[in-house]
Amino acid sequence: MNPSLLLPPVKPNEAVAIADLLFRLVQSRPNFADVRARFASSIPTIALESLTPFPQSLASDPSQPGTFFLAVLSRREDGPSHWLLHMAPSSAPTTPLFPKPILLARFRPAGEREVIINAIPLDQNLATLVRTLHPQLLARASNIHNLWSLPVTAPLDGFLTQVPKRGNTLPAFRTAQASWLAYKHLLLSTWRDGFVNILEGLTQIPSAEEAEPYSRFSYRVDNPTDARAIAEFHRGLKSILHRNFDLELDFSQHKSLEAETLDALLDNLKLIGVPLQSLEFHPDLPPFTALLEARRLGLTLHAVDPGEPVSGLRTHWKLEELR
């Protein structure tokens, strides 16, 4: 084993133990789904002290057979950090996906060909990681689901396990600052049943790069009588995304919105072909439940605890934390 001369962010001997286990399993089990399951069940046998691997993140490089990636939590003296292990035959070309990896070790598993192990910073490479190795994690449109959403910066431990395992309820993350952070929580969890990623507080069309991680967009309505501005926002999103997405309208700054005004706006939006999933109102206003039910629209509510759906099958509960 030849570790890097720099202080490694991941203990080389534990990285080698992980890679050795993985390559032994790969040789005897051609089905990769079976490899991942056996890998998860075999991790306790290698007695790791400073590393926590996340078996559900294990992926093979689609362009380089025999090359694997695995997310790990490394606990070192300077604090915990997340890394992506890159494990490949030393004869394989350097991965173009993640530039400047940190060399951890070289070794020969069970006398086979030499394997190289690199460490790659996880947080800085989330976008590439999801796009290329875990595209199944990408958020999806959810126009028939109820949502439980939390801010992506909230304490999220256990959130995904608390969301009801019902076919009409999905977890969601929300933020006003575009990033790929929500995908880190998905990648390191066992949740693989879909989720919604919400970019909120929007007053103008985001760039294609900002919009890419998201499946739902919340537009802050400045003028409740101006259907044209909402339609232009919707058209702008369609022009940059070229895929399905959900649209929420945020009326929370309007304390005296009247049902007649809202009804007229929704009529105009329907006429010009703007589909809506959910509406959010100022907390002092009635929720216009009957109007929304008649139009089969969802309702977005702030709540301490999620309750039963208020409007049909689509209620978006905006939670600050789960108790």
Q: Are residues 221 and 308 in the same domain?
A: yes
Predicted pLDDT at 40 = 93
Distance CA 27, CA 295 (A): 57
Model pLDDT for residues 120-134, shown as the tens digit of each residue: 999 999 999 999 999
Final residue before a domain boundary, out of 65, 92, 123: 123
Final residue before a domain boundary, out of 74, 97, 123: 123
Q: Are residues 92 and 158 in the same domain?
A: no
- CATH number for the domain harbouring residue 84: 3.30.200
- Number of residues written out for the chain: 323
Cα torsion through 237, 241, 242, 246, rounded to 10: -60
* Gyration radius from the chain CA atoms: 23
Q: Which domain holds residue 210?
A: 134-318
Are the C-beta atoms of 256 and 237 separated by less than 8 Å? no
| Nearest one of 177, 211, 193 to 142, comparing CA atoms | 193
Distance CA 27, CA 216 (A): 42
In a domain, 5, yes or no: no
| Nearest one of 305, 314, 256 to 282, comparing CA atoms | 256
Q: Are residues 142 and 58 in the same domain?
A: no
As a whole number, mean pLDDT of residues 204-226 equals 97
Predicted pLDDT at 5 = 44
Q: Which DSSP string corresponds to 155-213? A: --TTHHHHS---TTEEEEEEESS--SHHHHHHHTSS--S--EEEEEEESSPPPHHHHTT
Predicted pLDDT at 111 = 65
Final residue before a domain boundary, out of 79, 95, 123: 123
Among 84-93, 191-200, 233-242, 256-265, name the one with the lowest average pLDDT.
84-93
Q: Are residues 263 and 207 in the same domain?
A: yes
What are the tokens at 90?
């030393």
| Side chain identity, residue 125 | N
Predicted pLDDT at 318 = 95
In a domain, 214, yes or no: yes
Residue 45: CB atoms within 10 A of its CB come to 9
In a domain, 2, yes or no: no
Predicted pLDDT at 313 = 64
Among 121-135, 179-193, 195-209, 299-313, name the one with the lowest average pLDDT.
299-313
The C-alpha angle with vertex 205 and arms to 242 and 241, in degrees rounded to 5, equals 10
Distance CA 147, CA 195 (A): 9
In a domain, 4, yes or no: no
Number of domains within the chain: 2
Inform me whether the pLDDT recorded for 4 exceeds 90: no
- CATH number for the domain harbouring residue 269: 3.20.20.100
Model pLDDT for residues 25-35, shown as the tens digit of each residue: 887 666 778 88
Model pLDDT for residues 52-101, shown as the tens digit of each residue: 999 999 999 888 878 999 999 999 878 899 999 999 988 877 778 898 89
Q: Rounded to 5 degrees, what are φ and ψ at 135?
A: -65, -20
In a domain, 154, yes or no: yes
Q: Are residues 138 and 117 in the same domain?
A: no
Among 100-109, 247-256, 289-298, 312-321, name the one with the lowest average pLDDT.
312-321
Residue ranges of alpha helices (H) inside 143-258 are: 159-162, 181-187, 208-211, 227-241
What are the tokens at 157?
């431990």
Q: Are residues 252 and 292 in the same domain?
A: yes
| Nearest one of 62, 87, 57 to 73, comparing CA atoms | 57
Model pLDDT for residues 11-52, shown as the tens digit of each residue: 999 999 999 999 888 876 667 788 889 999 999 999 899 999
| Side chain identity, residue 175 | T
Q: Are residues 87 and 177 in the same domain?
A: no
In a domain, 7, yes or no: no
Q: Are residues 149 and 294 in the same domain?
A: yes
Predicted pLDDT at 53 = 97
Q: Are residues 108 and 141 in the same domain?
A: no
For 213, 225, 260, 316, 323, the CA distances from 279, given in Å and listed in that order, are 22, 15, 15, 9, 25
Residue ranges of alpha helices (H) inside the chain are: 12-28, 32-42, 126-133, 159-162, 181-187, 208-211, 227-241, 259-271, 289-295
Q: Are residues 138 and 204 in the same domain?
A: yes
Q: Rounded to 5 degrees, what are φ and ψ at 111?
A: 75, 5
Inform me whether the pLDDT recorded for 320 exceeds 90: no
As a whole number, mean pLDDT of residues 174-197 equals 94
Predicted pLDDT at 311 = 62
Q: Are residues 182 and 94 in the same domain?
A: no
* Strand, helix or coil for residue 312: coil
Distance CA 162, CA 4 (A): 42
Model pLDDT for residues 252-266, shown as the tens digit of each residue: 999 999 999 999 999
Computed over every residue of the chain, the mean pLDDT equals: 90
Q: Are residues 99 and 155 in the same domain?
A: no
